[in-house]
Amino acid sequence: MFRFEHPEFLWLLVLVPVILVMYAGLFLWQKKQLKAFSNPALLGRLVGGWAPQRKWLKAGLFAMSIGLLIIALANPQWGSKREKVEAKAADIMIALDISNSMMAEDVAPNRLARSQRIIERIIDQIKGERIGLILFAGNAYLQSPLTNDYGAVIMFLKGASPDQATTQGTDIGAVIDLAEKSFDPQNKSNKVLIIITDGEDHEEAALEKAKEAAQDGLVIFTVAVGTPEGSFIPKNYGLREDYLRDAEGKPVRSIVNTELLEELAQQGNGLFFTYQDDETMARAMQNRIDKLDKQQVEQRSFSEYESYFQPFLLIALLLLTLQWWLPNAVWRKKEKSSWI
């Protein structure tokens, strides 16, 4: 099983094209300055040994080395030892809302980032169970099937973004349907769905589907992320250039729907939580899950991961050394003057 130990650093790869664009701008500016302040007849003698292609080569080497350093920083890893054990476990599907409203900043740093931290805390608390991940907005998407490889689940979790949602909204009914399809059809007693959302723009069918799923043995926990006061939704995440606006041009204020989520947990024979206390929440979930009639399952998981950042680091350092050593000019032997 391949993974990056620190996938959060991979976004820095955007620096590679940025570096190339900056170099291109610098080269064009230098060329313009030379033409503006030098006599064309003398320009050839002044820069006769200068090789523009060398400059591009050095820029490429530098950009490549930065890209490789970033990959080394993320630390690519490969699972080297897989264990097979028999144990009793519950099947837990975690559903994370990735709709635009989850970027509201009434919860620091925003609802989505806080939800990701909550899920990591839950996973850390309920180790030993099989866990899967669903992302949802107007539709639901299975990101990770039930597994004991928590590292893979967290990797998918950290990459979650509203950009992954093809349809906006909060279709919790679709989440329940997808979760039910992801569980073993014979499993009637130890399956759990944890829904983490602000509950906005929900479909009315969600409560009825929660009731039907509970009759089939599904336990539903809900976690409300957001405040009653709410917040505007940034249009460009992190830049705050503007906010999402309605048809009248007014900024859209997103408010958490705790009433829906509380009723949803009640219909699903589960528990309702707010976002404030991760540790208490995770312990309460674990206590409730421990009371389920867990089934005997064969668990396979990678217990050891080997790091492979070293080749990327070595190649990056070699490229940086070559870029520093490579001269900008190609020196040519002087031609003899015709009058000597």
Q: What angle do CA 235, 112, 11 make, to 5 degrees?
A: 75
More confident residue, 116 or 248: 116
More confident residue, 15 or 278: 15
pLDDT, tens digit, for every residue of 210-222? 999 999 999 999 9
pLDDT above 70: residue 42: no
More confident residue, 230 or 88: 230
Whole-number pLDDT of residue 201: 60
Whole-number pLDDT of residue 189: 76
Whole-number pLDDT of residue 339: 41
* Closest alpha carbon to 115 in 129, 131, 128, 133: 133
pLDDT, tens digit, for every residue of 54-110? 788 888 999 999 999 999 999 998 876 666 655 667 899 999 999 999 999 999 899
The answer to whether the bond into 17 is cis (omega within 30° of 0) is: no
Per-residue confidence band for 336, with pLDDT thresholds at 50, 70 and 90: very low
For the residues 159-188, what does the mean pLDDT come to?
88
For the residues 222-230, what does the mean pLDDT come to?
94
How far, in Å, CA of 263 to CA of 280, rounded? 21
3-state SS track over 28-66: HHHHHHHHHHCCHHHHHHHCCCECHHHHHHHHHHHHHHH
More confident residue, 48 or 76: 76
More confident residue, 238 or 52: 52
For the residues 212-240, what does the mean pLDDT come to?
87
Q: 331 near 49, Cβ under 8 Å?
A: yes
Instruction: Report percent pLDDT > 70 for the chain.
Output: 81
Whole-number pLDDT of residue 83: 63
Q: 219 near 193, Cβ under 8 Å?
A: yes
Per-residue confidence band for 170, with pLDDT thresholds at 50, 70 and 90: confident
| 3 state SS of 217 | coil
For the residues 27-41, what does the mean pLDDT come to?
70
Whole-number pLDDT of residue 271: 95
DSSP letter assigned to residue 329: B
pLDDT, tens digit, for every residue of 106-148? 998 999 999 999 999 999 998 778 999 999 998 999 999 999 8
Tokens describing residue 29: 């500016």
Q: Which CATH number applies to 82-300?
A: 3.40.50.410
Give domain limits for the chain: 2-75+308-325, 82-300
Instruction: Look up the pTM and report it.
Output: 0.64
Whole-number pLDDT of residue 252: 81
